[in-house]
Amino acid sequence: MATTIIDGKEVASRVREGLKQEIAALTQAGHTPGLAVVLVGEDPASQVYVNSKVKACEELGIYSQKWALPAETSQEELVELIHRLNADPRIHGILVQSPPPPHIDEEAVILNIDPRKDVDGFHPVNVAKLVLEDATGFVPCTPLGCMELLKAYNIPTQGKHAVVIGRSMIVGKPMAHLLVSKQANATVTIAHSRTADLPALCRTADIIVAAVGRPEMVKADFVKPGAVVLDVGINRVEDATRPRGYRIVGDVDYAGVSEKCSAITPVPGGVGPMTIAMLMANTVKACRQLTQGA
């Protein structure tokens, strides 16, 4: 059986196209959706992500503000900015790029974001809404993007065994909740660094979601023939043959695994593009909920 290469770029572009009409309607009604992206420090990868987010806003007609703050910014200064953005009627979504510098207490910062503007879905109110399956909440963009890919490719989840590798608050845990929800009805196992015999566990999976941040960790012998593999990893590995001196690989050994599975997301071009598309979708949803009460 041929392996389906899940084209995240194509699905993301369809999601973005679908948003344009609602953005135009909101703008007509005097409520242009607005996103504030806050970056503290000079981490090069974070700078790339933040710039892509701002560019995506421009392409869709979403108003955006980029706040690039110096690495020495204090917790108090950052929280003060968040409070100003909470009060700014032009802004419907607020995102603080993770990870911040070590002196910043990220959880404390997130607690200061108005949950109605928390388009990352990191605030405890939104974490609770995910668990409660309350559709007014915001779900983190990467797992939301993974669910959209499964839907776009008509990949069934009901009754399937999904193994999510990784227990982060950004990907692993929300992903597990989405898969086990009444929308998806999968049976879910969350695996992590202390899981015993991960390869054997993964071989029982119909769906594997790899979100560990370890380059090419998931090998062909982790995969049951015909399983679906979503690779959330974005890892830089040294490669002297590339002009930049590195290349980007996922958490999955693509060459080996793609021979065995029925569908797989490549890196790049799989889950990555979906993250930004879902951020745009969450920003439009925040605008709609804040201005239309729906």
- Contact between 165 and 211 (Cβ < 8 Å): yes
User: Alpha-carbon distance 138 to 123, whole Å?
Assistant: 9
Judged by CB under 6 A, the stretch of 95-103, 178-186, 215-223, 225-233 that binds ligand GUN is: 95-103
Q: Which is nearer to ligand GUN, 36 or 162 (CB)?
A: 36
**Residue 170 found at the interface with ligand GUN (CB under 6 A):** yes
Cα dihedral sign, 113-37-284-34: positive
Active site residue 289: no
Nearer to ligand GUN, 118 or 206 (CB): 118
224 is catalytic: no
Residue 287 interacts with ligand GUN (CB under 6 A): yes or no: no
Kindly identify the residues of this chain, within the stretch 217-256, that bind ligand GUN according to CB under 6 A.
Answer: none
Q: How far is the CB of 248 from ligand GUN (least distance, A)?
A: 14
Restricting to residues 115-134, name those near ligand GUN by CB under 6 A: 120
Q: Sign of the CA dihedral 147, 3, 15, 143?
A: positive
Q: Which is nearer to ligand GUN, 35 or 227 (CB)?
A: 35
Catalytic one among 118, 120, 206, 231?
A: 120
Pinpoint the alpha helices (H) of the chain. Answer: 8-28, 44-60, 75-87, 106-111, 124-132, 141-152, 172-180, 198-202, 254-257, 271-292
d(CA 264, CA 287): 34
b/e map 221-259, b = 16+ CB within 10 Å: ebbeeebbbbbbbbbeeeeeeeeeeeebbbbbbbebbbe
Q: In 3-state terms, what secondary structure has residue 140?
A: coil
Scanning 91-99, 125-133, 148-156, 158-166 for contacts with ligand GUN by CB under 6 A, the matching segment is: 91-99
We find the least distance from the C-beta atom of residue 49 to ligand GUN, in angstroms, to be 6
Q: Using CB atoms, what's the residue nearest to ligand GUN?
A: 98
Beta strands 161-165; 187-191: pairing state: parallel
Report if residue 91 touches ligand GUN, rule: CB under 6 A.
no
C-beta closer to ligand GUN: residue 91 or 227 = 91
Residue closer to ligand GUN (CB basis): 97 or 258: 97
Distance CA 110, CA 121 (A): 10
| Segments in 90-244 forming alpha helices (H) | 106-111, 124-132, 141-152, 172-180, 198-202
Binding span for ligand GUN by CB under 6 A among 19-27, 66-74, 90-98, 215-223: 90-98
Nearer to ligand GUN, 106 or 253 (CB): 106
Confirm or reject binding of residue 141 to ligand GUN (CB under 6 A).
Answer: yes
Q: Are 66 and 264 in contact (CB under 8 A)?
A: no
- x/- site string to ligand GUN, residues 265 to 284, per CB under 6 A? ----------x---------
C-alpha span between 168 and 212 (Å, rounded): 8
Instruction: Work out whether 142 is an interface residue with ligand GUN (CB under 6 A).
Output: yes
| Smallest distance, ligand GUN to C-beta of residue 144, A | 10
d(CA 147, CA 62): 24
Peptide bond into 99 cis (omega under 30): yes
* Interaction site with ligand GUN (CB under 6 A): 95-98, 120, 141-142, 170, 275
Q: Hey, which residues are catalytic here?
A: 53, 97, 120
